[in-house]
Amino acid sequence: MNKGMVFGGRAACFLPIFLVLCLTRNSNILPVAEAIWLTIPSSGTKCVSEEIQSNVVVLGDYYVIDENNPDHIPTISARVTSPFGNNLHHNENATHGQFAFTTSESGNYLACFWKDGSHQKDSELTLGVDWKTGIAAKDWESVAKKEKIEGVELVLRRLQGIVETIRGNLIYLRDREADMREVSEATNARVAWFSIMSLGVCIAVSVLQIWYLKRYFVKKKLI
């Protein structure tokens, strides 16, 4: 009994066509469902960013979608920068590109796209961006080949990966909340001390004023 063919069946006959279409990224026939599309303005840059922790795999794939003239696709330039300003990926005059890196510092990672100077038409450009981080960027095909698992077992292994990511995120959120709480409590204590101190200073100054004025009036024989 072929356990691997749990989902295969009907898909096997049109799958090669689908794969070819995915690889050629021709949106006229069948758009690839795994990415979001952005519109690049005719002038200026369009940037997307994400706040990522350190030691996370990031996989990016971008491609120009132009249904108006498929034989003369406009080109774009792309740049990916780390939170410290390091250039992680730079591409010019391209219709598609890929980048992959592991984050070394946590912070805001920015991917910017802009139209090339050679195509100065006033039309907007559609760009498909496939941005995967962490568990979504994992290469499950190689895991399946290496450990010789397939079908339902592979799916369950992926779900296990997702659950582990969820647990990791939960611990991260809890730690951040603990930090925030400590900062809040420290600030609260400081504010309390400051207000008590300022109140004390006010009372002291007013007592001093009363004592001085009393002494002055007594001296001048007004009281």
- Shortest spacing between CB 216 and another protein, in angstroms: 33
Instruction: Work out whether 152 is an interface residue with another protein (CB under 8 A).
Output: yes
Query: For the chain, first and last CA: distance in Å?
Result: 113
- Shortest spacing between CB 40 and another protein, in angstroms: 12
Which residue type occupies 17?
A: I
Instruction: Work out whether 133 is an interface residue with another protein (CB under 8 A).
Output: yes
Instruction: Work out whether 183 is an interface residue with another protein (CB under 8 A).
Output: yes
Distance CA 36, CA 188 (A): 44
Give ∠ CA 71-39-69 in degrees, rounded to 5: 15
Of the candidates 28, 86, 182, 194, which one interacts with another protein according to CB under 8 A? 194
* Residue list 16-75, contact with another protein (CB under 8 A): 16, 18-19, 22, 31-39, 46-51
Question: In which residue are the tokens 């399946």 written?
Answer: 144
Residue 60, burial from CB neighbour count under 10 angstroms (0-12, 13-18, 19+): buried
Instruction: Work out whether 88 is an interface residue with another protein (CB under 8 A).
Output: no
Distance CA 162, CA 164 (A): 5
CB closer to another protein, 101 vs 140: 140
CB closer to another protein, 34 vs 209: 34
Other residues' Cβ atoms within 10 Å of the Cβ of residue 153:
14
What is the separation of C-alpha 87 from the centre of its chain, rounded to a whole number of angstroms? 17
Distance CA 86, CA 102 (A): 13
Instruction: Say how many CA atoms lie within 13 Å of 181 toward its Cβ.
Output: 6
Instruction: Work out whether 10 is an interface residue with another protein (CB under 8 A).
Output: yes
CB closer to another protein, 198 vs 209: 198
Instruction: Work out whether 164 is an interface residue with another protein (CB under 8 A).
Output: no
Which tokens sit at 154? Answer: 């592979």
Instruction: Work out whether 107 is an interface residue with another protein (CB under 8 A).
Output: no
Point out which residues bind another protein (CB under 8 A). Answer: 2, 4-12, 15-16, 18-19, 22, 31-39, 46-51, 108, 126, 131-133, 136, 140-141, 144, 150-152, 154-156, 158-159, 162-163, 165-166, 169-170, 172-173, 176-177, 180, 183-184, 187-188, 190-191, 194
